Homo-oligomer: A and B are copies of this chain.
Amino acid sequence: MALDLLDRPAMAVATHTLPAPYLLFLGDTIEPGFAKTAFGLRDWAPERCLGEWSLPSATVSTGLPRLSPAQAAAQGARALVIGVANPGGIIPASWMPELLAAIEAGLDIVAGMHVRLASLAPLAEAAARHGRALIDLRTPPADLAVATGLKRTGRRLLTVGTDCALGKKYTALAIARGLAARGLDATFRASGQTGIMIAGQGIAIDAVIADFAAGAAELLSPAAAPDHLDVIEGQGSLFHPAYAAVSLALLHGSQPDGFIVCHQPGRAAVLGSPAFRVPPIAAVIAQTVMLGRLTNPAIRCVGISLNTAGMTAEDADRVIAETGAEHGLPAADPIRGGAAFDALLDACQA
């Protein structure tokens, strides 16, 4: 469906395939935390990343070859991907000459920012003139249907969280890759912007009109062969006062057979809502089973993924072992891997 993208200068992305390989654009970023998207793409989708480009004032680098838009296009790049976020989610005027140069060089532009690419007149005009696509991953897909709730063929695994932003995407990626490496027919299904850039397709569920959110989740993991496993990137948390509805739509539409609870040991308060406590893992398991039963009565918790970034290896091993024993489930930090992660993969495979 990539051809379809080229025909439409400004469009929503549903399950279309993004044009690749990418030139990662880092803007004028000097704070590595703002370049998480670019680092994620480098780490999880190296085969989709040809190089990087940035303004002279930038100090952050992914270590990929530095290529101008024209050089990247000459080497086969098909899209410039904005791999950085700034606090306002805006595109500064200083980036504009580089984005226009990319369009002129024949690249599409892919972004997941709050501001819409097509709302910036110089970009919209240049894209129309050169027949390039401006792809906003946060633009809600058009023509979605409401969910049917009907069971689809194939198997599904969903990552859920005790909170936002603690490893649901990387857990799903690591499990999908780990199972594929074992020869299983497993696909990572992206439900957020960075995941979509990594996978090259997906739907940003949180950007969908509420009425269609569960329907979009059904579309995200379509009917498949009985042995096929979709590993679906979770969003938000059922205990988050702002995003629980997004999590519920994804749970109902995904109708998962199994789920992995993702948790960051030591995080006490809910991200962005400090008056709310991060719920215990057991509460998340119980609530997910209770709500998930609506569209899959056989739903069960398969294991626990712990984000132990910043811990010593000894502390991480200890908290992983303790958490697994406490809940009677395999627990691991997929980023650390090891025997614990192998056991988690065994459980996902079962």
Given A239-B294, A241-B149, A242-B149; A209-B211 close (CB under 8 Å): no
A243 at the interface (CB under 8 A from B): yes
Contact B209 A244 (CB under 8 A): no
Residues of B within 8 A of A275 (CB): 149-150
Contact of A294 (CB < 8 Å), options: B206, B241, B272: B241
How many of chain A's residues touch chain B, expressed as a range?
A: 35 or more
Contact of A245 (CB < 8 Å), options: B140, B149, B246, B272: B246
Within 8 A of B (CB), among A69-127: none
A262 at the interface (CB under 8 A from B): no
A208 at the interface (CB under 8 A from B): yes
Contact of A146 (CB < 8 Å), options: B209, B213, B242, B291: B242
A148 at the interface (CB under 8 A from B): yes
Alpha-carbon separation in the docked complex, A268 to B40 (Å): 48
8 smallest A-B Cβ distances: which pairs?
A: A149-B241, A245-B249, A147-B242, A206-B211, A245-B245, A146-B242, A210-B213, A245-B248
Q: How far is the CB of A326 from chain B (nearest CB, A)?
A: 23
Q: How far is the CB of A285 from chain B (nearest CB, A)?
A: 14
A68 at the interface (CB under 8 A from B): no
